[in-house]
Structure 1
Amino acid sequence: MPLLRPNDLVRLVSPASRPDPAGIERRAKILRDWGLRVEVAPHAFDQLSYLAGSDDDRLSDLTDALLDPKVRAVFATRVGKGSYRILHRLPFEAVARDPKPVVGFSDITALHLALWRECRSIGVHGALTGDAEDRLSLIAARSLRTVLMEDGPFNVEVKQALASFELTTSGRARGRLIGGNLEMIATTSGWALPSLRGAILLIESAGLAIGQFDRILTMLMRAGHLNGVAGIAIGHVHGTPPNPPLDAIVLLRQHLSELNVPILGGLPIGHDADASSIVIGMMTEIDADHGTLIQRPEEMTTYDMR
């Protein structure tokens, strides 16, 4: 079933870094054109160093949006850094009584993971991403609207031109899609990262130095956080300069091959103006032989959307 319907109220909040107000207004217009009613949280454009205001104010905006029964989805205005600073203070028990999707990616992965772990509340790994002119890409907009407002099933097909396509193996796997940004998966490990047993692990990355990239994968593997995953879906892997003979793809292959599960790379998910949206927490099937990732909204249970 669709997550949102025309005339639903959504709220734009800034749990991490400060957005550009003009860009957010352009994105809000897109949502209004879809028939949604849009509010902007009071502190969305505050600034404190690299953050969109103080922790208390960002937490207040996010909590108010999650608990307001009139609000049916929460959109992160941008990513950046900072949502991990406030997620442990969320009133998870109250949120669980009326969970609603949080839309975002990158740093917002921390919220997705914590909300799934504590509330079984699904999230949308997607965003009002901007193109070179800071406008919402038509491709990204189409994908986001499909996930939010259309009946399924919907699928994401791989792009062989993406570097992560080289990691594709063979076979099929099915499970809840859990994950997102690799750095946030590591940041939440041990305190907000849910169990990945039986899950399809989603990985995307941007801007990690090669040594940092390797350290993160080593920690996740050696600490056992990835034990029991059913399969792995890999999106964009950007901004990790190679240090021959090592690069991000080589490191992913070295570490993830130990898991001996199907891997589907080349997914247009993550840091890209034309990125596809996908639902975190939804039952998902990956088919590495045919290069597809499929989600079926009709398989969402009442428990998912309490």
Structure 2
Amino acid sequence: MIFPEFLQQGDLVTIVSPSGAIDGEVIEQAAAAIRRLGYSVKIAEHAKGKHHRFSATDEERLADLQSALDDPQTRVILCGRGGYGLTRIVDRLDFSKFVENPKFVVGFSDITALHAALLTKAKCCSVHGQMAKAFVGYDATLDKKDAENPEVAESVEELLNILTGVRRRQTYFSYNQRSRVARDKVKGRLFGGNLSLIYALRGTELDITKQSGILYIEDIGERMYSIDRMMQNLRMSGVFGRIKGLVVGKFTDTDIDSSFGSIEDLIFNVTKGYDFPILFDIPFGHVDRNLPIINGSVATIAANALTFKTKK
């Protein structure tokens, strides 16, 4: 598995918007904040654009993303936002030049499709984490508790710690009493992201559910029956018979449906008969405290702790 080189002062960060449209001013403010941190920034040609719900046409978004992946000077690709759009273009990406000069790709939500492509086609680690908007107003000289939004500031700080190689490993704890903690330590590569995207890519060449590592999932705005349907699909296709553990982030803006109970109830029901550890409420997803996870990194679950390597 390829692990990109860490970001150093003066290195180039390229901002792309491969999915939904985002306010151009947000992109500019994010770029300014990143420059204040000591890095160079390039804004992709169509990153601030708008074409219906997308940032640009499929061809324009594909060209921007391909250019960033190919660019030997770019050390980090930071996505502007999620939304929808990557599944229209991701299968056409060429990673032949990227693997010669790999770089960290950062994003979440719809960007799960890009993480999947990097894992299956390029065999490269990437970062599931905050995107451009989170950098707006970020000030590294402030203690994060003094920031306008301490949880977003913490997320950016932790993302930078990973991108710059500050830590050897990262550990997140589940304090949810319903977590099924590991009796014995389990080990495997992290793979996952947004459940809807994982489900959408099933049966394609970007299907990541053939892995046997540690699956992590989150989602937003899905009805409980829809979440159940996607999870039942994973069950019926044997995914739960392969994975070593399940890490559940935040499922935000879901409906209340007594047919399924809570997210914990739903997941326990669909994984009935399996004994792998399940950690709930790990801090990632469509929330302010969206801490980074290295997709493709070797990880362990021990008791209520998820630990993954942040270096080669």
Q: Give the structure-1-normalised TM-score.
A: 0.89
The alignment partner of 1:166 has SS state of coil
The alignment partner of 1:39 has SS state of strand
Which consecutive segments of 4 or more residues in structure 1 shift more than 4 A?
A: 133-136
Match of 2:290 in 1: 275
Identity %: 30
- C-alpha distance in structure 2 between counterparts of 1:72 and 1:81, whole Å: 25
Contact kept, 8 Å, 2:198 with 2:208, in 1: the verdict is no
- Equivalent residue runs for 1:67-106 within 5 Å: 67-106=70-109
- 170, 174, 199: which is aligned to 2:182? 170
Spell out, residue by residue over 1:212-261, the C-alpha distance to the aligned partner (whole angstroms, 9 max, x if none): 11111111211224431111111111121121141332211111344321
1:31 aligns with 2:31: no
- 19, 32, 41: which is aligned to 1:16? 19
Change (3 A) 1:63 1:20: same
Contact kept, 8 Å, 1:197 with 1:227, in 2: the verdict is no
- CA drift of 1:27 comes to 2.0
Contact kept, 8 Å, 1:155 with 1:292, in 2: the verdict is no
Count of residues in Structure 1 that have an aligned counterpart in Structure 2: 293
- 217, 228, 232: which is aligned to 2:242? 228
1:208 aligns with 2:208: no
The alignment partner of 2:96 has SS state of helix
- C-alpha distance in structure 2 between counterparts of 1:217 and 1:2, whole Å: 35
- Equivalent residue runs for 1:184-203 within 5 Å: 184-191=197-204, 192-203=206-217
- 192, 203, 208: which is aligned to 1:179? 192
**Residue type of the partner of 2:22?**
P
- CA drift of 1:2 comes to 6.0
The alignment partner of 1:167 has SS state of coil
Spell out, residue by residue over 1:5-59, the C-alpha distance to the aligned partner (whole angstroms, 9 max, x if none): 1111010000100112222222223322322111100011221221111100000
Match of 1:303 in 2: none
CA RMSD of aligned residues (A): 2.1
Spell out, residue by residue over 1:198-223, the C-alpha distance to the aligned partner (whole angstroms, 9 max, x if none): 31111111111112111111112112
- C-alpha distance in structure 2 between counterparts of 1:135 and 1:36, whole Å: 16
- C-alpha distance in structure 1 between counterparts of 2:180 and 2:39, whole Å: 38
**Residue type of the partner of 2:236?**
R
The alignment partner of 1:217 has SS state of helix
Change (3 A) 1:130 1:77: closer
Could you tell me which runs of 5 or more consecutive residues in structure 2 were left unpaired when the two chains were aligned: 139-151
1:157 aligns with 2:172: yes
**Residue type of the partner of 2:156?**
A
The alignment partner of 1:276 has SS state of coil
- Equivalent residue runs for 1:123-134 within 5 Å: 123-128=126-131, 130=133
Contact kept, 8 Å, 2:12 with 2:73, in 1: the verdict is yes
